Structure 1
């Protein structure tokens, strides 16, 4: 029998059902129709071999001279590659002719497909073989699976990604689970648990199949709860699979073993990153002790090439990340190496320096870029704050993140982290004094006057003890703001003017310009003759510094002044300018105040429904960060009441409540600003279109809205606290929220009548 007639025998005669890769299969077949060399790349366990086999099975008719599978996983010597191909083709050798020459002679003129499977440990010899064979056999096609490309001219690449969660990943789990537990089904009672399991497994087919095998003895929740040690759990594989594919650890051991010692060291060190990371971050955190800074780029590129590190390209930046499974594996290797503590400290020091640099340059034109860097690094900042051996460093970092907490929309998280840092370092120190005034700022924005006053009292004592004029200036300014909120107006102006003097003495640009803004508000509402001049100075100072955040606030003050003078046209123009300046900042307080004034201006124009929408959005913004109504302008409550009265009179109570709830769906500053500027309607809000949460996530949201902690929610639902933690993170990610308060307010808004 000739090799051609036996060609199909080299492919498996029966493959497991193929789930979730139909689009990939079609695209790979299309590419194979025009590419003579096509390489499927991807992380271990993602299903490259399975996809290649599916394509090869369906391509038999297109290759009448044979389709051959060459499994190179067991091949260890470069010199044995050609022999493995010859053996797969069942070509007898004569003992005299070199094997590669024999292959060239046989394949010349034949229309055939060779599938070289698992090439990553033999990239160079596989590249040489493919180059020689393709040059000699013009009708030949070569399909390759490898964690890195062969690097040949004309090679086409197709990256095999993990299965999308929930759809394809859930279907794969269901199908494999039925094989071991025939009565298993995905329904309303377990779907959210199945989705969470698939998400925890990164959508990796190998991991999902290994997990499904445990459904014979464990529930989905039990498997998920045991994933903290996923490599021990997912150790039951198929005896018929290649050794390196039988368990999740074996798959990763295989990838790890293909790396050079330097690549292995970098992979282990990269595991300290909790989220995406940049090249600069990798260079700072992972260099040293055998890896020069300049080497990190090349080693990282090698890990990307080998599909160990995932690259993410955005419009203005490139980031990298490890799949959680790979990260946990790398963390184990890091601990084994004895380098874990050093890597953690370098990670902490890098993110501390990053936060301090952004804070120092805050009053300038790079504010939005700085906030974006803080948002992108959120997971790693939290990881750095967990580095518990240096409480003073934690104090420094939590204070340096003040704009992330107060301007970036992370007030709730900031409050928790500040309280934790202050508890861990109770002894008097300059860093504690700094963290105290930041904690007071956060508490004040949340409307917790009692906590803010307590923090300010201690910060004042420490500021005096350490002769820190910056701290004392902020203490005076925040005290003035609290007095203002409490209606103690006689004390406000003297305190603010003293604060200005402190900030000028310390050359604190942020303290000076924000105090000017607050002084402008206070003077305006007190009817002080200096109000217009102070607001103008604040606008000029912000423009000179390039500080768009304070500019937005200062323009709001001027809009307020025009409103109080009944100059509606000027007020509307200034408020619109404030909104344009403040785009991109997640400042709920400022956005709520601006929408309040715009609502008041809409009533005389008979735009009653729009006014109610604006009031609803302002209310939602305040609720989401738990700030008190009209936090910086209590004297406007009279205007608020009058505005509501006119709207209700015009629309009626039911229509007013409906319009209020409709506006409440504009749940972020970005949505509210876009609506106020006319570029978005509440119906365009992602939250308004659909509830993206699963049934269990909705249950968790309802309990969050009742004020229950994660531990109490776990007891209520009879699940583990870790399960609730994951549900909360999933909820926040789906809704693009940064705090539990936002989830609670969103849930309340969802319960409001909409018709």
Structure 2
């Protein structure tokens, strides 16, 4: 779960990794431009510091943007068609809507002034221009700060060319070099004696920040004067022999190339192979994808540590949970080296096959104690999964794409990526022009599952039909699936839904979602009984669901069991008993990133607190609930003018509190950040901003 854009006044900007040096004039100019222009693009060559400057400017601009300052990192994106999905995910919009996603994003971003930072646009430039133009047209209070090696070309765009740092002995280039040198070698200090050599290093590197940072790390093994000598001889050799290139581009490549030459042969080989990853990697992934030939899997961990010491890769986190990353410019150098070795296709296939294996492992273990871990792991690997899907779609055998996209049904369905999943599955199914085979059947079922919406009777029937095919393909008993009945119940046809609901037959554990559907059958039975006000029977079925989930250590479906136990308690006039299971449900939905489920639980807590006479708290939770529905991509469920639930509670709470206090309480709840909203719902005061 996450708060809506309007509900999180800080956005998602990461903390800055180290001290920001210089750029006072550029920061002042960006501030002026953002006050007068709706699109500001920072341009310049790779390594010149555009991304870092944009992040610093966004942090400085936060007070002016009540709707938040939001960073959308595009360097990991390889398919331009997923740019809108990337914006949605960065701004915490869950893709649970069948509406055109760009329209949903526009509605999601509407509200108080908001800053969107689009970082590294050049490789998806045309799509960036299209999306930005639409966003600016539809969201009046939006400002966009972009970084790109070239302009987006959108009407009204204001450009600021980012130059290298000034090179005087007391200017920013020397200050940056000295700061990074001191970080690499704590004993280093800039003095009047060594300042000329430091300035000469900066001049040799043209004041390019990335080149300066790479050079500073070399002081771990070289004194400053030897570093300067090495740079001089190395640059003279390369500059005289290199093909014509822009001077600054050549300088940066030479600096990276020098770092490359100072690596051992195995370090260089690992650097090249790591370039196939996007969005980072962990040790296990690196061992699987990068081993081979002279590089054994056992060597990888030590070599990663060595590359980290040389600032070729960076590490986030500790222990087995740690993840490694590589700057785009450094990755590009490694990718060129990999292509030169003739290994590109082989390493990309290993990358693809590793993430196919990850998807299958996640499916097998989803309904178990590792569910939270899998939700977090696959979310962290989202960019690599996207790349694996693209690699599968590029192979001559359509079965690989069908298998991968179908195996990820749980990720698409339960973790908030339904819209992207639909698109991936549709592309895979289009490539497989002839149906048949287990992979095709799995993909058809997964596509229909992620296309399911509560009020679509035909979609519910098609999911049931597709699952029957899947069960028969895998020689599994076919459980009765009451999806048709559930759809009718949502539409208010509870009596008819009871007739259509069949008895539950047990399906064996594992394989293709059979166990998942066994649990879903119980959840939907509880849902139908609640719709018929049969609350005692609803509580009994929900209790069985909770027990079945507890046996497996499962969270996502267990939360629906808690939800219906709580709902039944409210229906039976026991709201005090409803709080604990509702809060347990919300905690679980938060852990597995199910924002749609979290929104539904928030509605339940509104009802429970209102029934307990906690009207002011209920009104604040109503504001939280509306915000969560918007975040889930279903704003129509969160608007009081279209939702029976919200209309009813607005009427009751407004009558109790009065118009002014009701509106204030709803606003307070809606403006809470995600952690504070969860804290309020779980029994805190919601004072923190989270």
Other-structure match for 1:486: 491
Other-structure match for 2:519: 513
**Pair 667,353 (structure 1): closer, same or farther in 2 beyond 3 Å:** farther
Other-structure match for 1:432: 440
Unaligned runs of 5+ in 2: 1-166, 205-213, 229-234, 236-241
Other-structure match for 1:419: 426
Deviation at 1:408, TM superposition (A): 2.2
Report the secondary structure of 2:444's partner residue. Answer: helix
Match of 1:18 among 168, 171, 176: 171
8 Å CA contact 1:436, 1:455 repeated in 2: no
**Pair 455,323 (structure 1): closer, same or farther in 2 beyond 3 Å:** farther
Other-structure match for 1:386: 390
In structure 2, how many angstroms separate the alpha carbons of the residues matched to 1:414 and 1:597? 29
**Pair 626,316 (structure 1): closer, same or farther in 2 beyond 3 Å:** same
Match of 2:366 among 337, 352, 362: 362
**Pair 542,466 (structure 1): closer, same or farther in 2 beyond 3 Å:** closer
Alignment of 1:57 with 2:221, yes or no, is no
Deviations 1:479-516 (A, max 9, x none): 44333323343564566545644467979332222321
8 Å CA contact 1:374, 1:404 repeated in 2: yes
Other-structure match for 1:442: 450
Deviation at 1:29, TM superposition (A): 6.6
Other-structure match for 1:326: 330
Other-structure match for 1:237: 247
In structure 2, how many angstroms separate the alpha carbons of the residues matched to 1:423 and 1:652? 56
In structure 1, how many angstroms separate the alpha carbons of the residues matched to 2:226 and 2:589? 52
Other-structure match for 1:307: 311
Deviations 1:383-439 (A, max 9, x none): 111112143222222222233223323233323323333323343332222223322
8 Å CA contact 1:433, 1:459 repeated in 2: yes
In structure 2, how many angstroms separate the alpha carbons of the residues matched to 1:248 and 1:27? 17
8 Å CA contact 1:405, 1:411 repeated in 2: yes
Match of 1:676 among 642, 660, 681: 681
Deviation at 1:459, TM superposition (A): 2.0
Report the secondary structure of 1:247's partner residue. Answer: helix
**Pair 525,275 (structure 1): closer, same or farther in 2 beyond 3 Å:** same
Match of 1:590 among 597, 610, 619: 597
Other-structure match for 1:317: 321
Report the secondary structure of 1:15's partner residue. Answer: coil
Other-structure match for 2:129: none
Unaligned runs of 5+ in 1: 1-13, 39-51, 61-65, 75-116, 131-141, 147-205, 207-230, 239-244, 687-755
8 Å CA contact 1:443, 1:449 repeated in 2: no
Deviation at 1:120, TM superposition (A): 8.8
In structure 1, how many angstroms separate the alpha carbons of the residues matched to 2:683 and 2:177? 41
Report the secondary structure of 1:678's partner residue. Answer: coil
Alignment of 1:554 with 2:564, yes or no, is no
**Pair 654,449 (structure 1): closer, same or farther in 2 beyond 3 Å:** farther
Higher relative contact order (CA 8 A, sep 6+): 2
- Of 396-405 and 558-567, deviating more is 396-405
Report the secondary structure of 1:386's partner residue. Answer: helix
Alignment of 1:336 with 2:344, yes or no, is no
8 Å CA contact 2:559, 2:589 repeated in 1: yes
Number of residue pairs aligned between Structure 1 and Structure 2: 496
Deviation at 1:326, TM superposition (A): 1.0
8 Å CA contact 2:589, 2:595 repeated in 1: no
Question: Could you tell me the TM-score, scaled by structure 1's length?
Answer: 0.57
8 Å CA contact 2:267, 2:307 repeated in 1: yes
Other-structure match for 2:42: none
Deviation at 1:541, TM superposition (A): 1.1
Deviation at 1:70, TM superposition (A): 11
**Pair 622,286 (structure 1): closer, same or farther in 2 beyond 3 Å:** same
Report the secondary structure of 1:311's partner residue. Answer: strand
**Pair 391,290 (structure 1): closer, same or farther in 2 beyond 3 Å:** farther
Deviation at 1:362, TM superposition (A): 1.4
Deviation at 1:559, TM superposition (A): 0.7
Aligned pairs for 1:607-646 (under 5 A) are 607-627=614-634, 640-646=646-652
**Pair 313,414 (structure 1): closer, same or farther in 2 beyond 3 Å:** same
In structure 1, how many angstroms separate the alpha carbons of the residues matched to 2:179 and 2:630? 49
In structure 2, how many angstroms separate the alpha carbons of the residues matched to 1:648 and 1:21? 62
In structure 1, how many angstroms separate the alpha carbons of the residues matched to 2:278 and 2:562? 39
In structure 1, how many angstroms separate the alpha carbons of the residues matched to 2:537 and 2:375? 33
Report the secondary structure of 2:324's partner residue. Answer: strand
Aligned pairs for 1:504-543 (under 5 A) are 508-528=514-534, 530-543=537-550
Deviations 1:517-567 (A, max 9, x none): 221221232245643321221111111111122222111111111111111
8 Å CA contact 1:309, 1:320 repeated in 2: yes
Deviation at 1:309, TM superposition (A): 1.9
Other-structure match for 1:735: none
Aligned pairs for 1:169-248 (under 5 A) are 235-237=245-247, 246-248=250-252
- Of 389-398 and 364-373, deviating more is 389-398
Q: CA RMSD in A?
A: 4.3
Question: Could you tell me the TM-score, scaled by structure 2's length?
Answer: 0.62
Aligned pairs for 1:35-74 (under 5 A) are 35=187, 38=188, 55-57=190-192
**Pair 504,321 (structure 1): closer, same or farther in 2 beyond 3 Å:** closer
In structure 2, how many angstroms separate the alpha carbons of the residues matched to 1:355 and 1:505? 14
Report the secondary structure of 1:406's partner residue. Answer: helix
**Pair 496,258 (structure 1): closer, same or farther in 2 beyond 3 Å:** farther
8 Å CA contact 2:610, 2:618 repeated in 1: yes
In structure 1, how many angstroms separate the alpha carbons of the residues matched to 2:461 and 2:339? 42
Deviations 1:54-96 (A, max 9, x none): x143778xxxxx999998x99xxxxxxxxxxxxxxxxxxxxxx
8 Å CA contact 2:599, 2:629 repeated in 1: yes
8 Å CA contact 2:481, 2:521 repeated in 1: no
**Pair 291,641 (structure 1): closer, same or farther in 2 beyond 3 Å:** same
In structure 1, how many angstroms separate the alpha carbons of the residues matched to 2:683 and 2:173? 41
8 Å CA contact 2:402, 2:428 repeated in 1: yes
Other-structure match for 2:38: none
In structure 1, how many angstroms separate the alpha carbons of the residues matched to 2:499 and 2:225? 78
**Pair 512,460 (structure 1): closer, same or farther in 2 beyond 3 Å:** closer
Report the secondary structure of 2:481's partner residue. Answer: helix
Deviation at 1:249, TM superposition (A): 2.0
In structure 1, how many angstroms separate the alpha carbons of the residues matched to 2:370 and 2:318? 19
Deviation at 1:457, TM superposition (A): 7.1
8 Å CA contact 1:269, 1:343 repeated in 2: yes
Other-structure match for 2:357: 353
8 Å CA contact 1:621, 1:667 repeated in 2: no
In structure 2, how many angstroms separate the alpha carbons of the residues matched to 1:459 and 1:122? 62
- Of 511-520 and 288-297, deviating more is 288-297
Larger radius of gyration: 1
